[in-house]
């Protein structure tokens, strides 16, 4: 059976051109980039070339990029790093109620250590109102962190507007851009951010590598206390193949991003139009236009998201549900609750995310089979009987 992958927001395959660019750095160019000899220097060249590409991609300067192990580390380092560095100035952080765990968990950790966090609410589309951010600011606020686009419902946030407010109030501004880099234009000056997180495995690069953009002059505690790598911000021998791979992945995105976004938007809009025509009682989550080109998220009433996933998987289709429903917890997605869905409806969500290798036929296949799956599940559902 041919398998169809519609879960690109969770991770993407590593483009074969990326793994090819990484290959020499495992055996031939294996040197420690901190070494003086030629083995070290050729590895260092790979890293510095990737730094040029990464900074250029974001409209930043090479010295403003720190390589990390991915989005989670970049977010942790930005949030805890600013909190520890500016502790004497203030102890208040403003963020949104729909952030990724890699932002909310460090924020909650800081709450246990004397910091105060305001989780600003969003509207029914998942949009943050910049005026609500402004109102949340106090004279103790040291950091604002709002994601560029949401990983579950795809909503793109008004980052430039929030950036202007942050600038006006002279407060550091971080954005988690893990879902946008490589998919839509991201420019640190247009967005007005001081800190920006990205992760290679979300844009056809390898897993376990990412970066944090740090605007020149931003005060930040070290990520890892150790050697002098990354201007002493992050001790630890560089992941040379990973960093080189991330650079190559960004080069490929630069070439093809516009075209890919256009194609994915067309397929996305087909799903947004055709699924509700074929399936009654389903509703789009997130904003109809201000959303990622590759994301749709639907609430499908009267059934559980997990049952849909299992049935799709049997047909070879990989998708995701907004609810983080594991064997231990039956908690629905915090994001879906934050946009105002009831617990019951938040359990029945389906996220389909498209990418570089998604074909029109994949969408045809899904549109052909999903209605019957929903109909069969509803026929067995006690929730549906009560309707
Ligand atoms: C995937 C993701 C992360 C985590 O990135 P990792 O590289 O997997 O640690 C953080 N934020 C968002 C929005 C994501 O989608």
Residue 326 has pLDDT above 50, yes or no: no
- Provide long-range contacts, Cβ within 8 A and 24+ apart, for 16-19: 17/248, 17/252, 18/204, 18/205, 18/206, 18/245, 18/248, 18/249, 18/252, 19/206, 19/245
Coil/strand/helix, residue 82: helix
Which residues 6+ apart lie within 8 Å of 4 measured at CB?
A: 316, 317, 318, 362, 365, 366
pLDDT at residue 347 in the model: 86
Q: Ligand 1 centroid vs 322 CA: distance in angstroms?
A: 15
C-alpha 97 chain-centroid distance: 15
- Phi and psi at 157, nearest 5°, equal -85, 155
252-280 mean pLDDT: 98
**Tens digit of pLDDT for each residue in 15-46?**
999 999 999 999 999 999 999 999 999 999 99
Q: Name residue 174's beta-bridge partners.
A: 145, 195
pLDDT at residue 183 in the model: 98
pLDDT at residue 39 in the model: 97
Residue 316 has pLDDT above 60, yes or no: yes
pLDDT at residue 232 in the model: 93
What Å distances lie between residue 50 and 3, 211, 217, CA to CA? 33, 11, 22
**Nearest atom of ligand 1 to the alpha carbon of 208:** 7
What Å distances lie between residue 202 and 39, 180, 238, 311, 345, CA to CA? 30, 9, 20, 26, 28
Question: Ligand 1 within 6 A of 178 CB?
Answer: yes
Residue 323 banded pLDDT, cuts 50, 70, 90: low
> Across all residues in the chain, what is the average pLDDT?
95
**Tens digit of pLDDT for each residue in 368-387?**
999 999 999 999 887 776 66
102-122 mean pLDDT: 98
pLDDT at residue 329 in the model: 57
List the residue whose alpha carbon is closest to atom 5 of ligand 1.
71
What Å distances lie between residue 150 and 90, 96, 130, 181, 316, CA to CA? 28, 11, 16, 12, 26
Residue 136 has pLDDT above 70, yes or no: yes
**Tens digit of pLDDT for each residue in 155-168?**
999 999 999 999 99
Where does the chain hold its CATH 3.90.1150.10 domain(s)?
4-11+257-385
Q: Ligand 1 centroid vs 363 CA: distance in angstroms?
A: 26
Mean pLDDT is lowest, of 218-227, 292-301, 328-337, for 328-337
pLDDT at residue 241 in the model: 98
Residue 330 banded pLDDT, cuts 50, 70, 90: low
Whole-angstrom distance, CA of residue 197 vs CA of residue 246 = 13
Residue 307 has pLDDT above 60, yes or no: yes
Question: Ligand 1 within 6 A of 147 CB?
Answer: yes
Residue 322 has pLDDT above 80, yes or no: no
Whole-angstrom distance, CA of residue 214 vs CA of residue 180 = 17
Helix or strand (DSSP H, E) at 98: none
pLDDT at residue 344 in the model: 86
Where does the chain hold its CATH 3.40.640.10 domain(s)?
16-252
Q: Ligand 1 centroid vs 311 CA: distance in angstroms?
A: 27
Residue 9 near residue 358 (C-beta atoms within 8 A): no
List the residue whose alpha carbon is closest to atom 8 of ligand 1.
71
Whole-angstrom distance, CA of residue 139 vs CA of residue 171 = 10
pLDDT at residue 386 in the model: 63
**Tens digit of pLDDT for each residue in 198-257?**
999 999 999 999 999 999 999 999 999 999 999 999 999 999 999 999 999 999 999 999
Q: How many CB atoms lie within 10 A of CB 326?
A: 9
Is position 325 annotated as part of the catalytic site? Answer: yes
Question: Ligand 1 within 6 A of 71 CB?
Answer: yes
- Provide long-range contacts, Cβ within 8 A and 24+ apart, for 356-362: 356/8, 356/12, 356/13, 356/15, 356/204, 356/256, 356/260, 357/5, 357/13, 358/5, 358/6, 358/8, 358/264, 358/267, 358/294, 360/267, 362/4, 362/6
What fold does the segment set 16-252 form as a domain?
Answer: 3.40.640
Question: Ligand 1 within 6 A of 100 CB?
Answer: yes
Which residues 6+ apart lie within 8 Å of 250 measured at CB?
A: 53, 54, 57, 181, 182, 203, 205
Highest mean pLDDT: which range of 222-226, 323-327, 342-346: 222-226
Residue 302 banded pLDDT, cuts 50, 70, 90: very high
Question: Candidates 76, 106, 153, 176: which one to mutate for ligand 1, based on the most atoms within 8 Å of Cβ?
Answer: 176
Residue 8 has pLDDT above 70, yes or no: yes
Written out in words, the top-level CATH class of the domain with range 4-11+257-385 is alpha beta
pLDDT at residue 2 in the model: 87
**Tens digit of pLDDT for each residue in 170-207?**
999 999 999 999 999 999 999 999 999 999 999 999 99
Q: What's the CA dihedral at 188, 191, 193, 197 to 10 degrees?
A: -60
């Amino acid at each position: 059976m041919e398998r169809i992958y519609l879960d690109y927001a969770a991770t993407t395959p590593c483009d074969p051109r990326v793994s090819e660019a990484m290959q020499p750095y495992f055996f031939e160019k294996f040197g420690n980039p901190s070494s003086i000899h030629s083995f070290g220097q050729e590895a260092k060249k790979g890293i510095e070339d990737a730094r040029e590409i990464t900074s250029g991609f974001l409209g930043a300067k090479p010295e403003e990029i720190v390589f990390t192990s991915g989005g989670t580390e970049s977010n942790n380092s930005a949030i805890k790093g600013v909190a520890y560095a500016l502790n004497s100035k203030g102890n208040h952080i403003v963020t949104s109620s729909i952030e990724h765990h890699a932002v909310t968990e460090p924020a909650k950790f800081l709450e246990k250590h004397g910091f105060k966090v305001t989780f600003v609410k969003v509207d029914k589309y998942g949009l943050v109102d910049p005026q609500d951010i402004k109102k949340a600011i106090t004279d103790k606020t040291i950091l604002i962190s709002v994601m560029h686009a949401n990983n579950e419902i795809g909503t793109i946030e008004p980052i430039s507007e929030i950036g202007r407010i942050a600038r006006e109030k002279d407060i550091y501004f971080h954005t988690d851009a893990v879902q946008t880099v490589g998919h839509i234009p991201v420019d640190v000056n247009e967005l007005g951010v001081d800190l920006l997180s990205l992760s290679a495995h979300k844009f056809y690069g390898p897993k376990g590598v990412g970066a944090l953009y740090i605007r020149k002059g931003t005060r930040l505690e070290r990520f890892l206390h150790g050697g002098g790598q990354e201007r002493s911000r992050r001790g630890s021998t560089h992941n040379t193949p990973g960093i080189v791979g991330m650079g190559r992945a960004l080069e490929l995105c630069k070439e093809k991003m516009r075209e890919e976004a256009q194609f994915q938007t067309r397929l996305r809009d087909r799903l947004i139009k055709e699924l509700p025509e074929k399936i009654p009682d389903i509703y789009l989550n997130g904003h109809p236009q201000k959303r990622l080109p590759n994301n749709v998220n639907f609430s499908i009433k009267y059934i559980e998201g997990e049952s849909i996933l299992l049935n799709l998987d049997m047909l070879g289709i990989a998708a995701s549900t907004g609810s983080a429903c594991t064997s231990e917890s039956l908690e629905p997605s915090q994001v879906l609750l934050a946009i105002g869905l009831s617990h019951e409806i938040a359990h029945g969500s389906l996220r389909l995310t498209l990418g570089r290798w998604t074909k029109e036929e994949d969408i045809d296949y899904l549109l052909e089979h999903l209605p019957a799956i929903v109909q069969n599940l509803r026929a067995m559902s006690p929730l549906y009987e009560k309707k």
